């Protein structure tokens, strides 16, 4: 079966450009997470969806970051007016339910480089 997929795998943006990163979770998975992984660091939580509802966006670094999951499946992370400090790998993960100890399955990530 297909795992979590993300596109594009690599994105280069000029400072000030808007970008959109896509995540296709495993079919039927209720929970979807976005993480940001800076070079040499572990992933940091950005936001969480349960179906189409965004239940936690406490990790979004600024109001330039926006995420949506309108139909409870595919999710898009949008970054407006990109800055150099936004350069990182953006990981998406999904899990079957929202219950405790549910395994999160990670996608390969999108590496964003802002010049």
Partner 1 sequence: TQLLEQSPQFLSIQEGENLTVYCNSSSVFSSLQWYRQEPGEGPVLLVTVVTGGEVKKLKRLTFQFGDARKDSSLHITAAQPGDTGLYLCAGRPFSGGYNKLIFGAGTRLAVHP
For partner 1, the closer of residues 9 and 15 by Cβ is 9
User: What span, in angstroms and rounded, lies between the C-alpha atoms of 3 and 17?
Assistant: 30
Q: Which stretch binds partner 1 (CB under 8 A): 11-19, 27-35, 69-77, 78-86?
A: 27-35
SS3 content of the chain, % helix, strand, coil (to 5): 5, 50, 50
Q: How far is the CB of 16 from partner 1 (least distance, A)?
A: 27
Q: Which stretch binds partner 1 (CB under 8 A): 60-68, 69-77, 78-86, 106-114?
A: 106-114
In which residue are the tokens 């990530």 written?
Answer: 109
| Residue of 71, 73, 107 lying closest to 90 (CA atoms) | 107
CA 48 to chain centre: 9
Q: Does 24 bind partner 1 (CB under 8 A)?
A: no
Residues between 32 and 71 with contacts to partner 1, criterion CB under 8 A: 33, 35, 40-45, 48, 50, 55-56
Q: Judged by CB under 8 A, which of 25, 26, 88, 95 binds partner 1?
A: 95
């Amino acid at each position: 079966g297909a795992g979590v997929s993300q596109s594009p795998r690599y994105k280069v943006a000029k400072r000030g450009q808007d970008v959109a990163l896509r995540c296709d979770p495993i079919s039927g998975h209720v929970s979807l997470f976005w993480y940001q992984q800076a070079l040499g660091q572990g992933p940091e939580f950005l936001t969480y969806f349960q179906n189409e509802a965004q239940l936690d966006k406490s990790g979004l670094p600024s109001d330039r970051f926006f995420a949506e999951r309108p139909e409870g499946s595919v999710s898009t992370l949008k970054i407006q007016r990109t800055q150099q400090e936004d350069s990182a790998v953006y990981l998406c993960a999904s899990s079957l339910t929202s219950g405790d100890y549910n395994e999160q399955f990670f996608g390969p990530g999108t590496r964003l480089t802002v010049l």
